[in-house]
Every structure is written in C-alpha cells, then in structure tokens.
C-alpha cells in the first residue's frame, strides 16, 4: 500500500490522515486488514511509536477496530457523522473542472481533520457516553416560560446588534454567580459572553499564539483544546497529571518559553483529579516567571460530590495571568452554545475586538432568558438538583464497580464531574479498542482514554459517563461490562 504523507504537522497525524483518507476513499475497504505497524514502519520510515500513535488516533475515532496484536481492521460500518463529511467532499460537483483551492496555513492544517462534537446516537442499551448532562434533569417548563416572557417583552433595541461582550444583564448575573459559587474575582465588565467554551479557546489561540509558539497541556487533556492549539500552529508540550493535578516538576525541558498553559484545575479532564492548592500556587508562580498566561477551563466543577470545595484558580491570581473559561453546556445543555470568559483587564480590549470580528457578538434572546434564569435563582436550584441526581448515579456506578469489577479496575479520582476514568491494569494497552467493541456487542458503551493523551499512555483506561442513565441502568451496564473486562 502506498502511503503518502502531506508534510504538515506532527508525523503521527500525517500518517493518521493518510490512512484515514485510504479508508474514506475506499482504498481500504470495510473489513479490510490494515498493514501491520511493523510493515508501516518499514514502508514509511517512521518509528513504530509514531505508527502506534496514528493507529490509536484511528482506533479512538472509530476509523479502525480490532486488536493490534492480531491485526487492525477497517470497521464494516463507519459512524454516520464521519462519512457524511467524507461523502460531501468526495463527490465533486458534476462536470465542474477540478479547482485546487489555495488555503492558508490554518486551512491546510485543518483541511483533512474530522472535527465534530456530534456524538453517535445512543444506540446501545447501556451507553456510558460522556460530555453531556442528562437532558431530562433540566427544568424545561421554566426555561420555556422565561424564553416566552422575554420574547413578549423585547424592545426594538433588543433586536439590534449588541455589544461584543454580550448582554449586560447576563454579564452582571454571571459575575455575581461566579463570585458566589466559584470564588472568581471579577467585575461584570471582565465577563465576555462567547458561543460556548470552544469559542473561548479559539479566541485565546488567535489573540495569544503565533505559529510555533509553545502551549503547555496537561497529560492527559481535553482533545478539543488540543485541536484548537494545533490548528493555530502551536507546539505542544505536556506535563503529567497525578492525583493533585498537573505536576510542573516533571515538565519537559522544552517547556521553556511557553506562552499559554491550558489546565482544568477544578476537575481535571479526563482524570478527574482536583488540583491541590500547592500546585495552584506553583502554577501561578510559574506563569509569572515565564510571562505566560493560564487558561483555566472550569467546565463542570459544579458537580462536586466529596471533599471540600476549592475555589477557582482565577481567585488566587494576583497578577492577571488567568483567563477563566466556563460553559453552560454541562449545566444547561450544549445546543444553547453559551459560554463565557473572565478576562484580565489587560486582555479585555483585544479579546472584545477579536469577538466582534469573529461574529459581532452572541445571539441575544437566550442570553436574556439565561440572565433571568440565573438572577431569579432557577440556575442555582437546578445545579443543586442536578448535582443530587448525578450524585445518585455516581453512587450507583461506584457501588456496581466495587461489586462487579472489584480489583480488575482502578478508579481515577471521582469526586466531581459527570464521568469516571477507570484504569484497567490487566488489559494490555493495545486491546482497549477491541474491548470497547466487545462491550458494545453486550450493549454497553465505554470509551478509551487514549485519544486524550498526546504520548502513548502507559496504562489502558476507559471513560464512563454516567449522566444519561438511571441508577438501575448503570448497575446493569456495569454488570454486563464485567463479562469483558479482564
């Protein structure tokens, strides 16, 4: 098989793209066996480790299945959301002469990616999908009422362009909430409303990073952030995460001259660790020393079940180093597309300008309803109830794991959030994908942690989200899972 690398970005991603293209174009047909890592290593001149990383990417995204020991295969059915994109670009307009568009560096970098937040529909009976709250926990009737009330009372001005920073009502309500609930130190004018935390990360990359600049990531880390930084042409360096969060003492020497560090201190994604105060202070001191900024992604720490609350990293920041990012995707619902940034004052104007250039500002109706939802206490009431319900789900999950999986798994920190990470000590790293497939055959959806590592992880692990199932179903799912965990 002829492998042609495109010369853009990390080698493992080049190989991943080449193999994915072969799969999507049909050169590697469904069910076909991929060349072995050894063969590919010889053919391409890439190290075996690089080939393994490319395979992990393919396996993690569902472009390949199977055990690496006995062969890796093209799945017989590709997920819908992947093929729809692939189909669209694979069929040129009839009779149109081929145009090869000249793209920017950014455009060339991302051209062949498959970026999507659309999950496969929960076709499995016991699907431990993660990254979403339970839609049925949300007080839909209240939300409908607030939207309807705002719709009736909007003034002509409310239909006009709004400030790039967002609706003042929402910025004000949010500033109050963040001070009360998260120990964030801010005035309403430091709060900028964005279209979800994804836009916050993208604006940060644009305003702060030139191609070649270094970004420090936790290892493992949220892949959506990694994609933004890679697209911006950043060089990634990582520091490992332990039970206390990111460990800067083990950062690589190349971590010098880092411009931005991206961290999830209140609930590390995906390990679940909560960063200790000592590590927080060390991180802030490091940022000051390096003249770097820290992105604090506080995506779901409202769901906290044990241990004493630790306030935001931002609240400890005395020198304007922390860019605080939050989202309503895990507390309301993702389709709302509302997130926010709390910006150091020195960064306010460039970020406001970047937001204004990007989309002039976020749509207003739902911002206003959300401001009411917060100001009238519905939001915090909902958070309390959703936390209690997810606490029940979590308790059921942990009990079922203890009963059915016992010492075959090791639970990474599970004090907060909507998912747990299970390390599976007896599972060879290369067998995670086939285990996930076996579990799916038993009707159980579990997901490998590997895509959230930049380097190949030393241990095998699974992510289990528990927000979208009842305690009863969670118990049954774990019972079934126990049949396939070695």
Question: 141 to 170, contacts with a copy of itself by CB under 8 A?
Answer: 143-144, 147-148, 151-152, 156-164
Instruction: Rule CB under 8 A: say whether 88 interacts with a copy of itself.
Output: yes
Query: Can you tell me which of 65, 208, 223, 284 binds a copy of itself, judged by CB under 8 A?
Result: 208
Instruction: Rule CB under 8 A: say whether 231 interacts with a copy of itself.
Output: yes
Please give the sequence-ordered ranges of beta strands (E in DSSP) within 44-187, or none if there are none: 126-127
Nearer to a copy of itself, 65 or 338 (CB): 338
Strands 258-263, 444-445: parallel, antiparallel or unpaired by DSSP? unpaired
| Stretch 434-453 residues interacting with a copy of itself (CB under 8 A) | none
Instruction: Rule CB under 8 A: say whether 138 interacts with a copy of itself.
Output: yes
Rounded CA-CA distance 41/20 in Å is 17
Binding part of the chain for a copy of itself, among 52-60, 101-109, 396-404, 453-461 by CB under 8 A, reads 101-109
Do residues 398 and 466 make contact, with C-beta atoms less than 8 angstroms apart? no
Instruction: Rule CB under 8 A: say whether 99 interacts with a copy of itself.
Output: yes
Do residues 466 and 474 make contact, with C-beta atoms less than 8 angstroms apart? yes
Instruction: Rule CB under 8 A: say whether 210 interacts with a copy of itself.
Output: yes
The interface mask with a copy of itself, positions 238-277, x = CB under 8 A, is ---------------------x------------------
The residues pairing with 261 across neighbouring beta strands, listed in sequence order, are 216, 294
Binding part of the chain for a copy of itself, among 36-44, 113-121, 173-181, 409-417 by CB under 8 A, reads 113-121
| Stretch 278-297 residues interacting with a copy of itself (CB under 8 A) | 291, 293
Query: Can you tell me which of 15, 23, 54, 110 binds a copy of itself, judged by CB under 8 A?
Result: 110
Residue 220 preceded by cis peptide, ω within 30: yes
Nearer to a copy of itself, 329 or 412 (CB): 329
Q: How far is the CB of 82 from a copy of itself (least distance, A)?
A: 11
Query: Can you tell me which of 100, 253, 377, 472 binds a copy of itself, judged by CB under 8 A?
Result: 100
Nearer to a copy of itself, 135 or 278 (CB): 135
Q: How far is the CB of 88 from a copy of itself (least distance, A)?
A: 5
Q: For residue 420, which phi and psi values (nearest 5 degrees)?
A: -125, 155
List the helix and strand counts (H, then E) for the chain: 15, 14
Rg of the chain's alpha carbons, rounded to an integer?
A: 23
Instruction: Rule CB under 8 A: say whether 135 interacts with a copy of itself.
Output: yes
- Cα dihedral 327/293/116/470 (nearest 10): -40
Residues whose CB falls within 8 Å of the CB of residue 430, separated by 6 or more in sequence, listed in order:
67, 68, 69
Q: How far is the CB of 361 from a copy of itself (least distance, A)?
A: 7
Binding part of the chain for a copy of itself, among 41-49, 202-210, 401-409, 475-483 by CB under 8 A, reads 202-210
Q: How far is the CB of 322 from a copy of itself (least distance, A)?
A: 11
Binding part of the chain for a copy of itself, among 5-13, 89-97, 276-284, 378-386 by CB under 8 A, reads 89-97
Q: Which helix (H) or strand (E) holds 379?
A: helix 378-400
Q: How far is the CB of 158 from a copy of itself (least distance, A)?
A: 6
Instruction: Rule CB under 8 A: say whether 83 interacts with a copy of itself.
Output: no
Q: How far is the CB of 93 from a copy of itself (least distance, A)?
A: 5
Do residues 264 and 217 make contact, with C-beta atoms less than 8 angstroms apart? no
Residues whose CB falls within 8 Å of the CB of residue 160, separated by 6 or more in sequence, listed in order:
none
Instruction: Rule CB under 8 A: say whether 102 interacts with a copy of itself.
Output: yes
Nearest to 119 by CA among 78, 81, 88, 76: 81
Rounded CA-CA distance 37/54 in Å is 10
Nearer to a copy of itself, 77 or 210 (CB): 210
Query: Can you tell me which of 136, 249, 407, 458 binds a copy of itself, judged by CB under 8 A?
Result: 136
Residue 150 to residues 316, 370, 478, Cα–Cα distance (Å)? 37, 10, 44
User: Among positive and negative, which fits the CA dihedral 323, 324, 327, 328?
Assistant: negative
| Stretch 309-338 residues interacting with a copy of itself (CB under 8 A) | 318-321, 329, 333-338
| Stretch 346-385 residues interacting with a copy of itself (CB under 8 A) | 346-350, 352-354, 356-366
Nearer to a copy of itself, 9 or 163 (CB): 163
| Cβ burial 99-115 (10 Å sphere, 16+ → b, else e) | eeeeeeeeeebbebbee
Say how far residue 209 (Cα) sits from the centre of its chain. 20
Alpha helical stretches, state H, 192-274 = 197-208, 223-231
**Hey, how many other C-beta atoms are within 10 angstroms of the C-beta on 416?**
25
Q: How far is the CB of 445 from a copy of itself (least distance, A)?
A: 15
| Stretch 3-42 residues interacting with a copy of itself (CB under 8 A) | none
Q: Which helix (H) or strand (E) holds 242?
A: strand 235-242
Q: How far is the CB of 205 from a copy of itself (least distance, A)?
A: 8
Instruction: Rule CB under 8 A: say whether 308 interacts with a copy of itself.
Output: no
Nearer to a copy of itself, 70 or 319 (CB): 319
Query: Can you tell me which of 113, 375, 423, 438 binds a copy of itself, judged by CB under 8 A?
Result: 113
Do residues 210 and 218 make contact, with C-beta atoms less than 8 angstroms apart? no
């Amino acid at each position: 098989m002829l492998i042609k690398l495109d010369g853009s970005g990390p080698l493992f991603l080049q190989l991943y793209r080449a193999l994915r293209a072969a799969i999507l174009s049909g050169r590697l047909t469904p069910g076909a066996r991929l060349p072995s890592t050894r063969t590919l290593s010889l053919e391409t001149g890439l190290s075996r480790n690089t080939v393994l990383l490319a395979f992990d990417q393919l396996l993690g995204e569902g472009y390949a299945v199977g055990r690496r020991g006995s062969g890796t295969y093209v799945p017989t059915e590709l997920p819908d959301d992947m093929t729809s994109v692939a189909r669209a670009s694979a069929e040129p307009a009839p009779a149109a002469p081929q145009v090869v568009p000249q793209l920017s560096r950014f455009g060339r970098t991302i051209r062949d990616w498959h970026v999507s937040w659309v999950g496969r529909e929960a076709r499995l009976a016991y699907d431990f999908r993660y990254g979403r709250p339970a839609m049925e926990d949300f007080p839909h009737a209240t939300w409908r009422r607030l939207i309807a009330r705002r719709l009736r009372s909007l003034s002509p001005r409310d239909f006009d362009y709004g400030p790039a920073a967002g609706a003042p009502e929402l910025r004000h309500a949010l500033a109050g909430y963040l001070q009360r609930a998260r120990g964030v130190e801010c005035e309403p004018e430091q709060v900028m409303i964005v279209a979800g935390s994804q836009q916050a990360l993208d604006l940060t990359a644009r305003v702060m990073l030139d191609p070649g600049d270094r970004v420090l990531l936790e290892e493992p880390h949220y892949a959506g952030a990694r994609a933004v930084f890679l697209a911006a042409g950043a060089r990634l360096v990582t520091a490992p995460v332990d039970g206390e969060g990111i460990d800067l003492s083990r950062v690589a020497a190349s971590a010098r001259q880092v411009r931005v560090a991206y961290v999830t201190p209140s609930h590390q994604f995906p390990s679940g660790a909560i960063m200790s105060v000592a590590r927080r202070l060390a991180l802030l001191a490091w940022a000051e020393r390096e003249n770097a900024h820290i992105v604090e992604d506080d995506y779901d720490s409202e769901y906290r079940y044990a241990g004493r609350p630790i306030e935001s990293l931002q609240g400890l920041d005395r020198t304007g180093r922390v860019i605080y990012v939050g989202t309503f995707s895990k507390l309301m619902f993702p389709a709302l597309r509302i997130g926010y940034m709390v910006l150091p004052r020195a960064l306010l104007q460039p970020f406001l300008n970047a937001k204004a250039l990007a989309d002039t500002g976020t749509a207003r109706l739902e911002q206003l309803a959300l401001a009411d939802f917060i100001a009238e206490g519905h939001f915090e009431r909902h958070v309390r109830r959703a936390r209690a319900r997810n606490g029940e789900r979590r308790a059921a999950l942990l009990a079922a794991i203890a009963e059915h999986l016992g010492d075959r798994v090791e639970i990474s920190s599970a004090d907060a959030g909507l998912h747990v990470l299970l390390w599976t000590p007896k599972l060879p790293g290369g067998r995670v994908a086939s285990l996930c497939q076996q579990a799916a055959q038993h009707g159980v959806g579990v997901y490998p942690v590997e895509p959230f590592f930049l380097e190949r992880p030393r241990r095998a692990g699974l992510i289990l989200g528990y927000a979208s199932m009842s305690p009863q179903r969670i118990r049954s799912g774990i019972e079934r899972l126990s049949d396939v965990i070695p």
